[in-house]
Chain A
């Protein structure tokens, strides 16, 4: 069935044009180094933003799950943060921060589009990741906290040694899922101008009227997201104790 479909496509009269436009080996060869070059920028940005998001998301989740009356204003702030930044389309955040902040012409604010784009992605993804953490914390039975307190741990120690280790282990698959999404959304920063993979591919495509460079960029994303997805599978399929 699939083979038949492939044969039908490959023998159709339009195929040579399709092949030339999307899968041109010469264009691929010529554009690949430049696209790859840009892709390293994506990877670097991804790693930095992800690291920040993992920390900020955890802080927001901890504030949201706290019970101390004194933390009420912070809890409100965290709730608003999540509602806003998870509610906005990421692309709007990127444009707002990336073009909006420099338009303020204020001293001391970053103007590097890469930094601004990273901040926008961080705002958006920290809201998602905070909710993932929060679900994990809520999923740990309250008897665990009781037991931790009963052996003499403080609230903070109970969180650190008993609740968080179990919570994080449980949400590892959805956290990795958000990794994959962020890895792709890094391409949104191209709107602001940095010469990352998608941007480079688009420039070459504009010059050559050939879409192969975009295929090259897409393949590079796949090269990262597919292995990540396999890691998600492995963790999601194992017993709770398997992830250490």
Chain B
């Protein structure tokens, strides 16, 4: 009896340690975002401080963060939609007609480092005046979203029973119509998983936007990174900005936790 009690206590303790480790940096980010700069700079105020929303006011008033949020949102939504538009039919075709060599191409595109495209894109986009344009930025983010969506959806479509499709074709429905009206609705869980993650990857993307975005299209991660420049760092505002980028991602992850966990465990990691 005694051993089980000890075991249970140490088990709960371990649980608590793991959870504290996981959450602490988030707690720290949020608490610093509500601290006045002077108290951040003074270690005596590590845990007790006078909360203020001044940091948040400052990033929206002094630094046009609304604009960056809109940019990030436009790029993330449109690149996800674009990836779905191209990726869903392609994944279906690859799954149904067993085009294994093409699925290998997708895998290679997933493995290659993002920076390998960035040099040529930068040169080519410069010539085509696509630097600091939404078109260029969205296309670059689709290079992460598209292979990812196909990667998740190929096994999903592969599992769809052939007989159901065939009976629909016999009933005179065209193949495109069968795909749109029968296959897609049933595949909704996979589509939701892959779209949510594609959205998150785009929202979080730093490297592509850093090089390809400019004043007009600057996304949130770049705005926050640029915020660090200068002689002294305004930590409170920096952490407020970090909270603003991370919040939507956390909300999505919480709401769709079942989908996101399965998507991430399916080998789903950024480009």
Q: Do A and B bind each other?
A: no
